[in-house]
A and B are shown apart, each in its own frame.
Chain A
Amino acid sequence: MKILVPVKRVIDYSVKPRVKSDNSGVELSNVKMSINPFDEIAVEEAVRLKEAGKAEEVVVVSIGIDKAQESLRTALAMGADRAILIQAGESVNDDIEPLSVAKLLAKVVAEESPELVLLGKQAIDNDLNATGQMLAALLGWPQATYASKIALQEGSIEVTREVDEGMQTVKANLPAVVSVDLRLNEPRYVKLPNIMKAKKKPLDTKTPDDYGIDINPRLSVVSVTEPPARKAGIKVESVSELLDKLKNEAGVL
């Protein structure tokens, strides 16, 4: 089977985002960018399925500016076979909305005919948690979100989902869209020879126009601000002082 893995290039998870002084967004110039951590887990899972002989080909796709190539090369170095970059947006600040991304991905799916789309449950920039569900809707495919365990079966995939109440296991008919959560796996470290090899793997470049998709946003950003700061309180000296403050000052015990 063929697996399609969409990946997004986002601000590195270890960087603390800074709000721009004009409140138009978050500062992204000269900031370390990486593959969205949840998407990295999706790539790892797809590559493991290939290594286990359960998948023949892993295709990665990214929608974004030219530099999104870096994320695709990372995925190729991890073991994906080839990549597609859909160049959309001029500036690193152009965030393509999940609805547009899902429409583009639906076209890629129509061309590539994968049996499984594996992707991160959300991107850590806009935290929308929407692309997988939207893609499944547009394709009329089943969806299984927040996967912490997957098992491919004949014609179906069994997915254990992390839900508020605990774990839920469902079985989805293939083809399906599965969005992955943190505990599915730990992505490998990419070794230098694999980075060199990845440079020779095929990477196709396309544009939204090639697919006839309008990517104009439906949402406009009015402002982006710092969250209200929570100010540090006081240090107490002892357990009895802590309990006294909680009881008599805060009134919460």
Chain B
Amino acid sequence: MTVLLVADISGGELNEDSTAKALTAATQLGDVHAVCATTDAQAAAETMASLQGVDKVFSVSGEQYQHALAEPMADLIVSMASDYDHILFASTTSGKNIAPRVAALLDVMVLTDVMEVKGSDEFVRPIYAGNAIQTVKSSDAKKVMTIRTANFDAAEAVNSASIETREPLDSKMPTQWVSNEIQESDRPDLTSAKIVVSGGRGVGSEENFEMIINLADKLEGAVGASRAAVDAGYAPNDWQVGQTGKIVAPDLYIAIGISGAIQHLAGMKDAKIIAAINKDEDAPIFQVADYGLVADLFEALPEIDKSLS
């Protein structure tokens, strides 16, 4: 059977990394049709069509899809659902906003954060902030799920699937977009960066956090933060790594002044290599770090800076 993959789009552009990872999961279930809906969907559809494993892309252009609001998006997906047994989203805040609404309209359960596809009706997902792993079997006719991107490699851009234009639906808009507050930066995206440098409460202040940012920039990596650092106002909330923030799986994760609370570990323990710098030798972060350095970060960071220059 064919799978419908809902492309993750923001600001009119395809979120290529998260969508390409969800696509890899989709190809394990069958042929894949993808749907791109935004104000002008052509560019996103073209990028989508280039990803390996997509058989067809639907391009749906309409103002009502501009901010991927759940109500018009769910209406659109439900209108296409009859042709598919599986409807997949990436586990982004957008995917998780829309997918349960789609599932309820189809009278099926939703499976969020799927980390492994065992078969057409059996899936693995984390529960209790990743402290337990659950395998579930679905008896629903249609499976609506979001894919935990950290567990799948991104499909490569080597394809050229056909693009079919579809008319948008005339949806009611009970929610209106007001504004976005988005940090613009040249740094790589936190969820797809090869290197992530994160700071915790130990960093001590917003000014000191510049040291974390400098190291990330030097390594051409992304900047992360623990919940404690975000709550203390050292870093903005969209940098938060952890169960209630972003889930990352970079090649290298450098945790600086982070003790390693369970909820933080849930967001980064899939990193290939973890390095930790903390002055408390008993900090739980050292139980998961491949390389631990017990040191005062205010001495270690300038030294790293000097060595890398």
Interface residues of A (CB under 8 A from B): 11, 16-17, 19, 26, 97-99, 102, 124-138, 141-146, 148, 158, 161-173, 176, 181-183, 217-227, 230, 232-240, 242-243, 245-246, 250, 252-253
Contacts and interface: CB of A to CB of B under 8 A. Distances in A.
B308 to A, nearest CB: 8
Given A133-B101, A239-B307, 8 more contacts: A161-B93, A164-B191, A168-B67, A171-B175, A171-B178, A219-B139, A242-B275, A253-B219
Nearest to A131: B100
Contacts of B264: none
B113 A127 contact: yes
B181 interface: yes
Given A130-B110, A173-B174, A236 B132 contact: no
Interface of B: 10, 67, 69-71, 74, 92-94, 96-105, 107-113, 122, 126-140, 174-183, 191, 195, 219, 227, 231, 236-238, 243-244, 246, 251-252, 262, 269, 272-275, 277, 281, 286-295, 300, 303-304, 307-308
Contacts of B136: 219-222
A62 B136 CA distance: 25
Main secondary structure, interface of A, reads mixed
Contact of B180 (A126, A166, A233): A166
Contacts, number: 244
Q: What 6 pairs across the A-B complex have the smallest Cβ distances?
A: A233-B290, A133-B100, A142-B174, A137-B104, A134-B104, A130-B100
Main secondary structure, interface of B, reads mixed
A222 B122 contact: yes
Nearest to A19: B132
Contacts of A99: 103-104, 107-110
Given A158-B178, A165-B180, A168-B177, A235 B286 contact: yes
Interface centre among A97, A237, A242 (most CB of B within 10 A): A242
B253 to A, nearest CB: 10
